Structure 1
Amino acid sequence: MRDLNYNHLRYFWAVAHEGSLTRAAERMHLSQSALSVQIQKLEHQMGHPLFERVGKRLVLTEAGKIALDYADTVFEAGEELMSTLRGRPVASRQVLRVGALTTLSRNFQLEFLRPLIGRSDVELIVRSGNMRDLIAQLEAHAIDVVLANSAAERDARSSLRNHLLDEQPVSLVGRPRRTAGPSAGAPENGAFDKGWAFRFPDDLATEPLLLPSLDSAIRVAFDRVLERHGIRPIILAEVDDMAMLRLLARERDGATLVPPIVVRDELESGVLVEFCRIPEVSETFYAIVQNRRFPNRLLDDLIPKIHGAGAR
């Protein structure tokens, strides 16, 4: 049996984490050509290519992902060994790297991470992006989990696992309605109209709407509801960011289509009220992970049954 060259493994480990031959070479004070030769020797020794080039990016192959899992464990154990033998306490601070869709509810992200927030032994790194970029980072081991409102596409060779975390109702919300004011007939000067009620689906034809963009699954489902009832809506705005939709709901009259969790604080304070629930429309929330030999153990605290049959 051939012995593993740990120097070659270290070079591979650096390139995999940097995601760039150039940056890794600069960090290790080597030329790119010398570093490339060392990695080629490791690939020859292992009998598998560890990287493939996609455009200008270096992407780990399946063998490369497995090798990186082991390399992470090897070098982490090495650091702990040196710390122990030198009498220094072993660093126990763990890092969790989370990728979240730019459009995802901030309240949902906060609830997902709440078990780890405030823990002195945990560092959280949260990045935002689109689904394609986040999945690429997940597959490159740059992040540990992706939070999204739709499942990742999978095929027979996919190592991705979709965990359904929650399914929330979707509502129309808006500012409380007021009666005509005592002066100048201005509704904003009047008292709250406690007798007003949104009539679903009739009022969908006359109530100005603030909606998520057409890229949103709940918008697609809501449009089907409108079509089923033969309604042509009055659209004030289409927004692809839930945080902006939340702000517009606070500032503009009209009805805003959102999961109530997005505007939970406003509903509790009375700044906004729920006009009605939309039947047959819901928002799903997923945690997407990759099958790894050594998954981040912090995920055990966040995803129920991560090692069981709850994924698909």
Structure 2
Amino acid sequence: MPLNYHHLRYFWAVAHDGNLTRTAQRLNLSQSALSVQIKQLEERLGHDLFERRGRQLHLTEAGRITLDHADAIFSAGQELVATLQETGRSRQALRIGALATLSRNFQISFLRPILQRPDVEVILRSGSPAELLEGLQTLNLDVVLMNREPASDSLTPYETHHIAEQAVGIVGTPGRLQPDRPFVELLETQPFILPTAENSMRTAFDALASRLGVRPQVVAEVDDMAMMRLLAREDIGLALVPPIVVQDELKSGRLVEASEHPRIREAFYAITLRRRFPNPLVQELLASTPDPALAG
């Protein structure tokens, strides 16, 4: 028996409202009729989708899964209408996913060509790589910004655009870091504040240390550049960061940068999914992106 999408839409509306009475009034239905529609959906799926706590409806685990699918289904329907009916659209939406730890400077640089446009609404979401790539596959996101390339195969036809990169340096307080000391000596004698293992900068740093035959002391592993900046200011160790992250501290002299760079660069990628009707705003942004050498 096929799924009744009218039932699914009623469930979707109630799930987002969180109130059966309010949804019934908005849809111009009786509360009992709306309850019957949702009950029939529950019978078809074989699971309760809501549980009542006082006067409020709360999603069950099955309800949350159903809502995730309903969001994807109805979002795809809205995209279909928006894509194939160009007339009458006053504003275009661009849904962007960005890695939660990604450089804010880079994000602004990428989005700057459309940020001031009155006909564009930017919807920016952050998350983990798995969450963002799932958003691409369900068409809830038009483009994902990351600092590493995702794994791709014939079942997940990602298009990976290398759009920028920036140098990575070693910074620390003046009392800890003598800028002209050789990089190997810093590795051998100083504690380090490093990105977490899944970060591409960390991968390159570990490989470099291994080639040099040094096992540096890691005093902190952090997945947020702002926190790495603060820890470096607290003088608990030397930090592996792009200098732009600590540009204010470098200008003020609160932090200094090692003269010998580790020759590591952080790359930035825009990930899209092959689609028959791609969002034209994504194409505009990719076309306006300069050669992958912008810092920030």
TM-score by length of 1: 0.66
Q: Which residue in 2 is equivalent to 1:110?
A: 108
> Cα distance, 1:110 vs. partner?
1.6
Alignment of 1:61-76 (within 5 A): 72-74=79-81
Which blocks of at least 5 consecutive residues in structure 1 are unaligned?
1-7, 38-52, 82-89, 179-186, 188-192, 307-312
- Greater helix content: 2
Determine if the alignment matches structure 1 residue 299 to structure 2 residue 257: no
Determine if the alignment matches structure 1 residue 232 to structure 2 residue 215: yes
> Cα distance, 1:278 vs. partner?
0.8
Residue deviations 1:177-200, cap 9 Å, x none? 25xxxxxxxx9xxxxx9x851312
Cα distance in 2 for partners of 1:93, 1:261 equals 34
Q: Which residue in 1 is equivalent to 2:94?
A: 96
Q: Which residue in 1 is equivalent to 2:158?
A: 160
Is contact 1:99–1:126 with CA below 8 Å preserved after alignment? yes
Q: Which residue in 2 is equivalent to 1:278?
A: 262
Is contact 1:148–1:286 with CA below 8 Å preserved after alignment? yes
Q: Which residue in 1 is equivalent to 2:15?
A: 23
Q: 1:219 to 1:138 in 2, by over 3 A?
A: same
Is contact 1:99–1:128 with CA below 8 Å preserved after alignment? yes
Amino acid across the alignment from 1:56 = I
Cα distance in 2 for partners of 1:13, 1:263 equals 50
> Cα distance, 1:260 vs. partner?
2.8
Query: Does the residue aligned with 1:169 lie in a helix, a strand or coil?
Result: strand
Is contact 1:108–1:262 with CA below 8 Å preserved after alignment? no
Is contact 1:22–1:32 with CA below 8 Å preserved after alignment? no
> Cα distance, 1:239 vs. partner?
0.5
Q: 1:149 to 1:93 in 2, by over 3 A?
A: same
Cα distance in 2 for partners of 1:196, 1:222 equals 19
Amino acid across the alignment from 1:220 = T
Query: Does the residue aligned with 2:286 lie in a helix, a strand or coil?
Result: coil
Structural RMSD (CA)? 3.9
Match of 2:38 among 25, 32, 49: 32
Query: Does the residue aligned with 1:120 lie in a helix, a strand or coil?
Result: coil
Q: 1:147 to 1:268 in 2, by over 3 A?
A: farther
Q: Which residue in 1 is equivalent to 2:49?
A: none
Query: Does the residue aligned with 2:105 lie in a helix, a strand or coil?
Result: helix
Q: 1:288 to 1:264 in 2, by over 3 A?
A: farther
TM-score by length of 2: 0.69
Q: Which stretch shows the higher mean deviation, 158-167 or 244-253? A: 244-253
Is contact 2:219–2:236 with CA below 8 Å preserved after alignment? no
Q: Which residue in 1 is equivalent to 2:59?
A: none
> Cα distance, 1:99 vs. partner?
0.9
Q: Which residue in 1 is equivalent to 2:54?
A: none
Alignment of 1:1-312 (within 5 A): 20=12, 23=15, 30=34, 31-32=37-38, 56-57=65-66, 72-74=79-81, 90=88, 92-175=90-173, 177=174, 196-252=179-235, 254-268=237-251, 270-275=253-258, 276-279=260-263, 281-304=264-287
Which blocks of at least 5 consecutive residues in structure 2 are unaligned?
44-61, 290-296
Residue deviations 1:253-282, cap 9 Å, x none? 532101234334444554433213113x32
Is contact 2:113–2:288 with CA below 8 Å preserved after alignment? no
Query: Does the residue aligned with 2:161 lie in a helix, a strand or coil?
Result: strand
**How many pairs does the alignment contain?**
253
Cα distance in 1 for partners of 2:66, 2:153 equals 23
Is contact 2:192–2:216 with CA below 8 Å preserved after alignment? yes
Q: Which stretch shows the higher mean deviation, 124-133 or 68-77? A: 68-77
Cα distance in 2 for partners of 1:111, 1:151 equals 19
Is contact 1:96–1:125 with CA below 8 Å preserved after alignment? yes
